[in-house]
Amino acid sequence: MSVKKLKPITPGQRFRVVNGYDAITTDKPEKSLLAPKKRSGGRNSQGKMTMRYIGGGHKKRYRIIDFKRNKAGVSAEVMSIEYDPNRTAFIALLKYEDGEKRYIIAQNGLQVGQNVISGQENVPTEIGNTMPLSKIPLGTIISCVELRPGQGAVMARSAGAFAQLMARDGKFATIKLPSGETRLVLVSCMATIGVVSNSDHQLLVSGKAGRSRWLGRRPRTRPVVMNPVDHPMGGGEGRASGGHPRSRKGLPAKGYRTRSKTKASNKYIVERRKK
């Protein structure tokens, strides 16, 4: 993993920091695992804008990722590590012994030619292997964690993310999540060994506004400069600060807790995330 700081030969390159893409081994995706991806531009089925600041951007094709890793007991060889425009992490193309190909989220240190396996029994604790939390040694760094058995990975999936298996008690395992939250998860849930790839993603600097436009992000208007009809923090004479920060619907932001006190999953949260 490496990043490159470009020479300031143009204004857009002055502060630009780009990914070295050392881990990437090919720029041609597997055709059988591609699907079309249509852009909504933030509009709903009636054509009305429901999400602001979305639109434009480069055309993409979706890579079908195997988040469930449910091909148990069948070894697979890593054919390539690839870039995925739909996520911050890199993806790995696996070819199973029976000839089937699947994409997975690549872990740091996953190499072309390496074999990975998933399943309940006799799975070694090595990078890229997937197994239930009941089989993983305590203290292990994990990623791509399920929240419900069979659901597929939903937690710790973005670049550089990882969780840690802290303890096990009965049918629950205690996991420390990337947010800092400590939570109980059923030991039958699957997780992958290792840290998610592309941990240098957080160091990148776009360098110019146009690069955000290529990603489909339009310019964002600050609420303080809006009119009162558009936002609770709008209006006022001159440069009014806007009072307490709040959402478009008037709910306080930056520290105000909106999570329901009676939510059923509250009992599984051992420690809340840090502010």
Residue intervals of the chain classified under CATH 2.40.50.140 are 3-202
Buried-exposed string 223-255: b where 16+ CB fall within 10 A, e elsewhere: bbebeeeebbbbeeeeeeebeeebeeeeeeeee
Tell me the pLDDT tens digit for each residue of 137-185.
Answer: 999 999 999 999 999 999 999 999 999 999 999 999 999 999 999 999 9
How high is the pLDDT of residue 180? 95
How high is the pLDDT of residue 241? 83
Q: How far apart are CA 58 and CA 187, in angstroms?
A: 41
CA dihedral 132, 75, 192, 138 (to 10 degrees): 60
Phi, psi of 265 (to 5 degrees): -80, 0
94 beta partners: 78, 102
Q: For residue 243, is pLDDT > 90?
A: no
Region of poorest pLDDT, from 81-85, 196-200, 235-239: 235-239
Choices 4.10.950.10, 1.10.3430.10, 1.20.120.330, 3.30.450.40: CATH for 227-269: 4.10.950.10
What are the DSSP calls for 188-236, one per residue?
TSEEEES-BS-GGGGG-B--SHHHHHHTTBPPPPPGGGS-TTT-TT---
Q: For residue 50, is pLDDT > 80?
A: yes
With CA atoms as reference, report the closest residue to 87 among 217, 196, 206, 239: 196
Q: How far apart are CA 263 and CA 226, in angstroms?
A: 35
With CA atoms as reference, report the closest residue to 106 among 87, 132, 81: 81
Residue intervals of the chain classified under CATH 4.10.950.10 are 227-269
Q: How far apart are CA 82 and CA 105, in angstroms?
A: 10
Our CA angle for 152, 153, 155, nearest 5°, is 145
Choices 2.40.50.140, 2.60.200.30, 3.40.50.2300, 3.30.300.30: CATH for 3-202: 2.40.50.140
Q: For residue 275, is pLDDT > 80?
A: no
Q: How far apart are CA 174 and CA 194, in angstroms?
A: 17
